[in-house]
Amino acid sequence: MGRSGNLAGLPSTEAWLVLNERLRDLPERLCAHIDRSRAVGRELSELFGVDPERVDFALAAHDLYRAATPEELLSEAARRGWEADVFERSEPLLLHGPVAALWLMQEAGVDDESVIESVTWHTTFAPNLSSVAATVFLADKIDPDKVRRRRWLEEVRDTAYRGQYVAAVELYLERLLTRLIKSGGIAHPRALEALNWFRLARAAATT
């Protein structure tokens, strides 16, 4: 991890205007989560030394389609060119990140790779993402309201606030996988790929 994007690709004033207009249509509870995540993102950006504007924009946009129905998500994904996999078809909520990222590209003219990948994979993460994407991922997961409801996130939060963003993302994925196995659930392949990528990268660094 370490790609941070091209400064020339920073979200424009026009992109912010289009995004803010869309945000006005979201339910109040969702806006509250987005605001909390953005506050965490500002703190983590400073700790991790990543671009705060990219992080803030991605967090503002990450849940644009979180309130959409399964039918709406499947329809929007198909209309915007995303081919849903078997997991996404069985659990369409997984599409809300990819659909939001496509909306940013197609409606707001955003072309910054770090922003687009951050929004696309903020639910599952994925291998070899940027430090911006890791910051967005963690800020979403350790929204203080989520931490209060899921005490196992406290360790993830504490690791992140020690400035160890790689360890914090890996820890989250490990804890999530453990909980899914215990409950008989199935992890999204992208999350498993990300966890394996972290483990291989750590093993390579120690040899």
Query: What is the model's pLDDT at position 39?
Result: 98
pTM for this model (two decimals): 0.93
User: What sign does the CA torsion over 73, 75, 77, 80 have?
Assistant: negative
Please list the ranges in the chain whose pLDDT falls under 70: 1-9
Give the CATH class of 10-205.
mainly alpha
Q: Is 131 in a helix, a strand, or coil?
A: helix
Q: How far apart are CA 135 and CA 144, in angstroms?
A: 15
Q: What is the CA radius of gyration of the chain?
A: 16
Query: What is the model's pLDDT at position 1?
Result: 60
- DSSP states of 10-75 as a string? SPPHHHHHHHHHHHTTS-HHHHHHHHHHHHHHHHHHHHHT--HHHHHHHHHHTTTTTTS-HHHHHH
Q: Where are the domains of the chain?
A: 10-205
